[in-house]
Amino acid sequence: MRFVFIFLFTSLLFPVWAQSGDYPGRATYPRVNIYETEQLNSEFENVIIVDVRSNFEFNTLHINNAINIPLNSKNFSGLISSLQSEGKPIIFYCNGHSCYKSYKAAKKARRAKIPNIFAYDSGIFDWARAHPEKAALLGKSPVDTKNLLSKADLKKYLLSPQEFTSTINDKVVILDIREASQRGLIELFPYRQQNISMDEQKKLERFLERIKASKSTLLVYDEAGKQVRWLQYYLEAHGISEYYFMEGGIKKYFKSLTN
C-alpha cells in the first residue's frame, strides 16, 4: 500500500518536474504566473504583449502587436503601469526557456503593485514556429520558419578566441558590437577594429553594405557570445557569407588567457 501511494504521488509530480526541467526559471520565480503558447494565441487580441529584450533583438524577430520595453529601460515600471489603462493582462516575453528576462520583468511589475501580470516564458522562437502568421522576422510577417536560424547554424561560424586571433590578417575586418557601456576603455584590437553597437542600426546597415561590396572576411565579437546570434540574421540578409564570431565573446577571451 505504501509503495502504491509513493508511486501515485511521484506520478502526479512528474509532469511538474519535467516542466521545471524544461523551464528552469519557473523554479527560481515560482510566484510568476505563466501563459502557455496556445493560451496566448487564443487570447491574442485581449492581452498586451511586452517584449523586454533589446531594441535590436525586437527589430530582428518579434511577436506581432508586441510593445518593446527593454528590461533595463529607465522607469521600466512606470512605462508598464501606463499600459494598464486598457485593463488587459500584460504578458512579458523574451528569448525562451532559459531566458529569465520575462520573469524578472514580471517580478519588477509586481513590486510596483501592477496587477494582472504574466510571463510567456516559451519565448519568441517557440512562438514564431507555432504561429508564424503572428510574428515578424526582419520586418516581414508571416515568418518563413525555414529562415529561423538554429544553434547549429550559429555553431558553424564560431571560432575559439585562439582561432579568432590567429585568423586576423590584413584582409579581414574586425567588428566589436558591444554597447559603449560594455566596451569602456577595453578594445581587443585597437586601431584594427570597428566599434558599432547593436543599437546603432542604421550605422550597422551601412557598414554591412560596405563589407558586402569589399568581399572582406568579417570577424565579430561581443561581450559574452550572445549578441552575435542576432547579428547573424542581418549578415545572412545582406548576403555576407565570409564571417566568423568569437565563441563566448570577450569574457571567454580573457578567461582563455588565464588557462
The residue ranges of DSSP E strands in 27-88, in sequence order, are 48-51, 61-63, 67-68
CATH class of the 151-258 domain in this structure: alpha beta
Q: Domain-by-domain residue ranges, the chain?
A: 19-147, 151-258
Q: One fold for both 19-147 and 151-258?
A: yes
CA atoms within 13 A on the CB side of 246: 29
Beta bridge partners of 245: 158, 220
Cell 552575435 appears where?
228
The residues near 86 (Cβ < 8 Å, ≥ 6 apart) are 48
Distance, CA of 35 to CA of 236 (rounded, Å): 33
Q: Which of 235, 252, 57 is nearest to 154 (CA)?
A: 235
Fold held by 19-147: Oxidized Rhodanese; domain 1 (3.40.250)
Q: How far apart are CA 221 and CA 212, in angstroms?
A: 18
What is the rounded CA–CA span in Å between residue 37 and residue 47?
13
Strand partners, 243: 218
C-alpha cell at 218: 568579417
**For residue 87, what is its C-alpha cell?**
485593463
Which pLDDT score is estimated for 149? 95
pTM score: 0.85
> What's the pLDDT score for residue 19?
46
Is the bond preceding residue 132 a cis peptide, omega within 30 degrees?
Answer: no
Cell matching residue 4: 502504491
What are 121's three cell numbers? 516564458
What count of other Cβ atoms lies within 10 Å of the Cβ of residue 199? Answer: 15
pLDDT (tens, 9 = 90+) of the chain, 259 residues, equals: 443 333 333 333 333 333 446 999 999 999 999 999 999 999 999 999 999 999 999 999 999 999 999 999 999 999 999 998 778 999 999 999 999 999 999 999 999 999 999 999 999 999 999 999 999 999 999 999 999 999 999 999 999 999 999 999 999 999 999 988 888 878 999 999 999 998 898 999 999 999 999 999 999 999 999 999 999 999 999 999 999 999 999 999 999 998 7
